[in-house]
Structure 1
Amino acid sequence: VAFTSGSTGPAKGVAYRHHHLQAQRDALMDTYSITTEDRLVAAFGPFALYGPAMGITSMVPDMDVTSPGTLQAAALADAVAAIDATLVFASPAALTSVAATAADLTSAHHDALGGVRVLLSAGAPVHADILRRAGALMPNAEPHTPYGMTEVLPVADITLDGIEKAGDGNGVCVGHPVKGVTVQISPLDSTGAATGVLTVEPNVSGEVVVQAPHMKETYDKLWVTQHASAAPPGWHRSGDVGHFDDEGRLWIEGRMAHIVTTADEPVTPVGVEHAIESLDDVAQAAVVGVGPAGTQQVVAIVRPTDPPRRPRLAALDRADAIRSAAGVPVAAVLEVSKIPVDRRHNSKIHRGELADWAEGVLSGGRVTAP
């Protein structure tokens, strides 16, 4: 039984049988051409278990495994050198920290990192810039970002080169489904519910629905949740919202639970957040809905490059720039020093928590940190 990250509610137990785990191992080895000659450094404790499952040496670097953002570049390089690693897995938060501490690397560290052939990063939407900066430290590695979830992993995969070729779009491009995986979309209706018939038609946003040999058996003791997730039977409703583009690539726009249901149309958060983060003075952004379902207002919560000591409304010039970049009507812009994220990857934004906080602040409540 593996547990989800709990980014949209209490963590759920996900039950796997041996044949599911074997299929998952085979999918990973096939997708990344892994052989018994490879060696893995996993900056995420649970992922290190795949090493023994694949019959290869694996190691966790010297870090707080409960806080991936604590990983330092030198610690990663030391782990790579210790086992002559050819594969590295790290969450976006871990890679961000590695890139930020790269100045601490010695020539021996750089030599060790030169032996890595595949760099994997997952756990939350991965910015191309993070892959680019971390990948520069491993010049012989091909950066990949696999897409999946606790219930099905991997689902799709894309390289840094593929991300750059896809360009900008509404969400994060996660590439094509991997071998053996079928992905379809259940289109959204005007209320933001995924009620449509499964389709692969391009540019139709909806819930991502997956079928694969390495899909979970069931949710542990959560029968109602299991019934809702397995519709139609034999498929898994991921809770992610996304779409296919004209090239058959899958784009992830956020979580179903985080769709903002405005009076005009449902708004998905990730594409808007990335547009806001393209501004030079915005380090991180979160987009949430405030107000009753069906008439919600879009609120942007940003962590500027010059974060405030206390939460506050953004100055007019910054708010105007954010509204212009967002591409959707933004009712308010709030600035904070820290945006809450999940404990597992330090990367998934707790948008539900932020929405409750923003609604309290904007309705005249006490201004506290989210």
Structure 2
Amino acid sequence: MLENLHAVLRMHQIGIVNLLRPRRLLRAAVNNARLGPQAALIMKAAAEHPDLPAVTDELGTLTYRQLDEQSNALAHALKKLGLPDRSVVGVLARDHRGLLLAISGTARAALRLALMNTGLAKQQLAEVVAREKVRVVLYDDEFADLVDGLPEDIPRYLTWGSGPVPTIDELIAAHRSTPLPPPDQPGGFIILTSGTTGLPKGAPRTKVSPLASALIADRIPFPRQGAAVFASPLFHSTGFGSWTVGLSLANHAVLLRRFDAERILQAIDEHRAQMLVAVPTMLTRILALGPDVINKYDTSSLKTVFVAGSALAPELTARFHEQFGDVIYNVYGSTEVAVASVAQPAESRRAPGTVGRPPVTVHLALFDDNDKRIDKPHVHGRVFVRTGIPFEGYTDGQHKQVIDGYMATGDQGHFDDEGLLFIDGRDDDMVISGGENVYPVEVENLLAERADVVEAVVIGVDDDEFGKRLRAFIVPTDSSARDPQEIKEYVKASLARYKVPRDVVFVDELPRNATGKLLRRELPTGPLNEA
């Protein structure tokens, strides 16, 4: 109870709620309980700040009043389909107003929304739609070929572009914008996991705690009625969660349908954006533009770079801070646990590589392979999280391991003497070579420090003598000598011999999914002459 009170006070301090306006607070809480946070927060912002910009995309800007009214009209149209409450609607869309309208409109129509990954293959989409029991599909026209693989009896509507099926713009224009009676309970939503090891799982959220915003914003400074540029896709938890918190602060979401590094800088300059939401590989591409291009744009308004989704190399943090100032807030979490910890700029500077400390209502713990808690610093263990946003289990019936209320993240990590958390790698990434345990991230971070390395990843491959050996895949700069032996000598000078990659492979790019996560399973593990 005391912890929840602390979370409420933090929300008041941040500006998410106003404890001095109890009637507004009660109305918002009731709407959240019946509609879910996204629709409820859009309604709240439309009532309090109707003329503020809510979203800007390639089509222009919608105010909060316009976003609210168009959400109502779409909800009326969806209601006419006659689906039972909490039927699942799938949306396959990039970042633009159509996706926001789908999120808000389905909630008002008491339907459950499944946010589909834009990187799904045709067969994967069909399997996910069948597993999640999707009854209607909303999609961008560029994904028409993928949607053609779905059963013909599933109604479909376009969220962007034109084609042989109706658009949601046509649905909105044909229906009134008055509010619908709120449902008895929210439809909820389903976010897919990244699917880095196979078909993405569905992680449902039927009810979201009102304290969830405090969990995300506690250690990350969000603008208030300011602009945030979203490079990370909203169909995944990083973009989705940060956009939701932004709604509670009546922020202006600047959306780009496709990532373009220079266009991101232009958007920050044009909208005086105070926040950027991104994944680490996007920061790499922004820096790759070089000072001449970067300095064409005024990015002095930027105060917060919310980074999540995959490991952030200390070297990348340092280079980005050198160019843009101390702005990176490195977020460690997952679809299942939301935000587990945040490294603020001062912590990243003091302890390079840390993912920081947990926010309010979140607790971290390490357990060994025998499920015994680890209390000492610098001892590696499995990372577990206890959070104020309980995980409901996957839609396929599976669940993460839970010990004493703490849920497994699937990662290995350790704490330092100050209690800062470090992630050593995924449980299944650890390589045992010649009887020694090797965490690839240590080697990857060292390689990333080289001026001639853009990105690096290290995996284990089969070896007749050692059981496993290390193989490094490196994206080099144009000036790189591409000398494998030089790379090996470099690692050998800093790390133990068993951590030196036996193989060094230079590649043009690393395989990643639509959210920027590295797909290690797609890296060749066989003999190099067959790779």
TM-score normalized with structure 1 length: 0.79
Q: Secondary structure at the match of 2:252?
A: strand
Seen in structure 2, the aligned counterparts of structure 1 residues 85 and 344 have a Cα distance that, compared at 3 Å, is same
Structure-2 separation of matches of 1:256 and 1:213: 24
Does 2:474 align with 1:302? yes
Q: Name 2:97's counterpart in structure 1.
A: none
Do residues 79 (structure 1) and 249 (structure 2) align?
A: no
Change (3 A) 1:17 1:233: farther
C-alpha displacement at 1:33, in angstroms? 4.4
Distance 1:62 1:336 in 2: 31
Structure 2: how far apart are the matches of 1:9 and 1:78?
A: 36
Q: How does 1:42-121 map to 2 (within 5 A)?
A: 42-46=230-234, 47=239, 49-50=243-244, 53-62=247-256, 64=258, 68=259, 70-72=260-262, 75-101=263-289, 102-105=291-294, 109-110=297-298, 113-121=299-307
Q: Provide closer, same or farther for how the CA distance between residues 78 and 184 of structure 1 changes in structure 2, counting only shifts above 3 A.
A: same
Please tell me the residue identity of whatever aligns with 1:212: T
* Distance of aligned partners of 1:117 and 1:267 in 2 relative to their CA distance in 1, 3 Å threshold: same
Q: 1:204 and 1:16 mapped to 2: Cα distance?
A: 34
How many residues align structurally? 333
Give the 3-state SS of the residue equivalent to 2:218 in structure 1: helix
Equivalent of residue 503 in structure 2, options 321, 333, 342:
333
Shift of residue 237, structure 1, vs aligned partner:
0.6
Partner SS, residue 514 of structure 2: coil
* CA-atom RMSD in angstroms: 2.9
Q: Deviations over 1:247-298 (max 9, x none)?
A: 1000011111111123423211101211233334333322211227993222
Please name the residue that 1:203 is paired with: 378
Alpha carbons of 1:243 and 1:59: their partners in 2 closer, same or farther (altered >3 Å)? same
Please state how far the C-alpha of 1:81 moved relative to its aligned partner.
4.3
Aligned CA distance change for structure 1 residues 217 and 93 (closer, same or farther; 3 Å): same
The answer to whether 1:127 aligns with 2:287 is no
**Structure 2 match to 1:39:** 227
CA distance in 1, matches of 2:218, 2:389: 13
Matching of residues 111-190 of structure 1 within 5 Å: 113-136=299-322, 138-139=324-325, 142-167=327-352, 172-187=353-368
Aligned residues of 2:219 and 2:344 also touching (Cα < 8 A): no
Once residues 303 and 98 of structure 1 are traced to their aligned partners in structure 2, the CA distance between those partners, rounded to angstroms, is: 16
Higher relative contact order (CA 8 A, sep 6+): 1
List aligned pairs for 1:228-247, cutoff 5 A.
Answer: 229-232=400-403, 234-247=405-418
Q: Secondary structure at the match of 2:373?
A: coil
Match of 1:321 among 490, 495, 510: 490
SS at match of 1:258: coil
Correspondences of 1:251-290 after superposition (within 5 Å): 251-290=422-461
Counterparts of 2:273 and 2:458 in 1: how far apart (Å)? Answer: 38
Return the alpha-carbon distance in structure 1 between the equivalents of residues 378 and 422 of structure 2: 9
Query: Structure 1 residues 93-102 or 47-56, which shifts more?
Result: 47-56
- Displacement of 1:3: 1.1
Q: Secondary structure at the match of 1:6?
A: coil
How far off its partner does 1:306 sit?
4.6
Q: Which residue of 2 aligns with 1:190?
A: none
CA change 1:299–1:116 in 2 (3 A) is closer
Task: Check whether the contact 1:230–1:236 (CA below 8 A) recurs between aligned residues.
Answer: yes
Contact (CA 8 Å) 2:229, 2:276: kept in 1 or not?
yes
Does the 8 A contact of 2:337 with 2:387 survive in 1? yes
Q: Percent identity?
A: 23
In structure 2, C-alpha distance between the alignment counterparts of 1:87 and 1:160, rounded to whole Å: 14
Task: Note closer, same or farther for the CA distance 1:50–1:209 as it changes in structure 2 (3 Å cut).
Answer: same
8 A contact 2:227–2:254 mirrored in 1: no
Shift of the 292–133 alpha-carbon distance from structure 1 to 2, 3 Å rule, reads closer
Separation in 1, partners of 2:495, 2:406 = 34
SS at the partner of 2:422? Answer: strand
Check the 8 A contact 2:216/2:359 in 1, yes or no.
no
Aligned to 1:191: none
Distance, in Å, in 2 between the alignment partners of 1:147 and 1:262 is 28
Q: 1:353 corresponds to which letter in structure 2?
A: E
Which sits farther off after the overlay, 197-206 or 324-333? 324-333
Once residues 353 and 326 of structure 1 are traced to their aligned partners in structure 2, the CA distance between those partners, rounded to angstroms, is 27
Query: Where do residues 347-362 of structure 1 align in structure 2 (5 Å cutoff)?
Result: 348-354=517-523, 357-361=524-528
- Please give the per-residue CA displacement for 1:71-119, whole angstroms capped at 9, x wherever unaligned: 32xx223323454322221111212222222533566x31xx2222222
Q: Quick one: structure 1 residues 33 and 320, their matched pair in 2 at CA, closer, same or farther if it must change by over 3 Å?
A: closer
Equivalent AA in structure 1 for residue 356 of structure 2: G
Q: Secondary structure at the match of 2:382?
A: strand
Relative to structure 1, is the Cα distance of residues 282 and 159 closer, same or farther in structure 2, using a 3 angstrom cutoff?
same
TM-fit CA distance, 1:195: 3.1
Q: Which amino acid aligns with 1:26?
A: A
Q: Give SS of 1:270's match.
A: helix
Q: Match for 1:181: what amino acid?
A: V
Deviation of 1:165 (Å): 1.0
Q: State the partner residue of 2:515.
A: 345
**Larger deviation, residues 286-295 vs 331-340:** 286-295
Who is 1:19 aligned against? 208
What is the CA–CA distance in structure 2 between the aligned matches of 1:131 and 1:12, rounded to whole Å?
31
Bigger Rg, structure 1 or 2: 2
Q: Deviations over 1:143-175 (max 9, x none)?
A: 2111111112211111233112114xxxx3111
Question: Tell me, what secondary structure is at the counterpart of 1:116?
Answer: coil
* Maintained 8 Å contact 2:366/2:375: yes
